[in-house]
Amino acid sequence: MTRLWWVRHGPTHEKSFVGWRDVPADLSDTAQIARVADFLPQDAVIVASDLCRAYATADAIGRDRQRLPDQRDLREMNFGIWDGMDWRAVAERDPVLSRQFWEEPGDLRAPDGESWNDVSARVARVVDDLTARFSGRDIVLVAHMGVIMTQIQRASGGTAYQALGHQIDNLSVTQVTRYPTGWSLGAVNHLP
């Protein structure tokens, strides 16, 4: 079995959509960062999204773990022109789509952005590669809420809508296991 330990990056304090904008994380809560680092397997490899909020978090919790190159395909969902807008502005601009986007996740895209299925496919490619290369190991992946939710869907066999119902706090850990026969979802949103 190969265990994946998904860590959501540190908080950004943004009050708007944050997808591919490179917004830094607030990593000032060193006690929480230490608890996360202590909780994760010490012999794990660690990889992050190539956005600074993720890779800075990976550096903060990494300690002596083997650090793999950052992965562009672990980025948050691309919200297109919604990125940087608050919920109200998005709803005013696209009243029907902004609601359907969350209630009917799948092929719907934010304007100039990507869909749930797009994100799921690109993240699955990275995960499949990592689980093949590091079979039988622990892998820590520092990424984003939407990315983690796609893997909750994958491991649970549920719907995208059900996966979106999970809360994924900053610096939380969600555990997924890859067995030869399939996926298993462990703890979701664990705050060490």
**pLDDT of res. 74:** 98
Mean pLDDT over 103-121 rounds to 96
pLDDT at 85: 96
- Contact partners, residue 31, CB within 8 Å, separation at least 6: none
CA distances to 73, 95, 157 from 47, rounded to whole Å, are 11, 37, 25
Mean pLDDT over all residues of the chain?
97
Question: How confident is the model over 69-106, as pLDDT tens digits?
Answer: 999 999 999 999 999 999 999 999 999 999 999 999 99
**In the prediction, which pLDDT does 129 show?**
98
Going along the chain from its start, the domains and CATH numbers come out as 2-185 (3.40.50.1240)
What pLDDT is attached to residue 66? 98
pLDDT band at 126 (very low <50, low <70, confident <90, very high): very high
Confidence band, pLDDT 50/70/90 cuts, at residue 1: very high
**Residue holding tokens 């869909």?**
115
Q: What is the pTM of this model?
A: 0.95
CB-CB neighbours of 96 under 10 Å: 8
For residue range 37-76, list pLDDT tens digits in order.
999 999 999 999 999 999 999 999 999 999 999 999 999 9
- pLDDT more than 90, % of the chain: 100
Quickly count: other Cβ atoms within 10 Å of residue 103's Cβ: 10
Q: Once rounded to an integer, what is the mean pLDDT over residues 105-111?
A: 95
Place of tokens 């490619």: 125
- How do beta strands 173-179 and 66-67 pair? unpaired
At 82 the pLDDT is: 97
List the structure tokens of 81.
Answer: 């022109």
CA distance 143 to 119: 12
| Contact assessment for residue 98 and residue 92, using Cβ atoms and an 8 Å cutoff | no
Give the span between the Cα atoms of 80 and 67, in whole angstroms. 30
Nearest-angstrom CA–CA distance, 105 and 23: 25
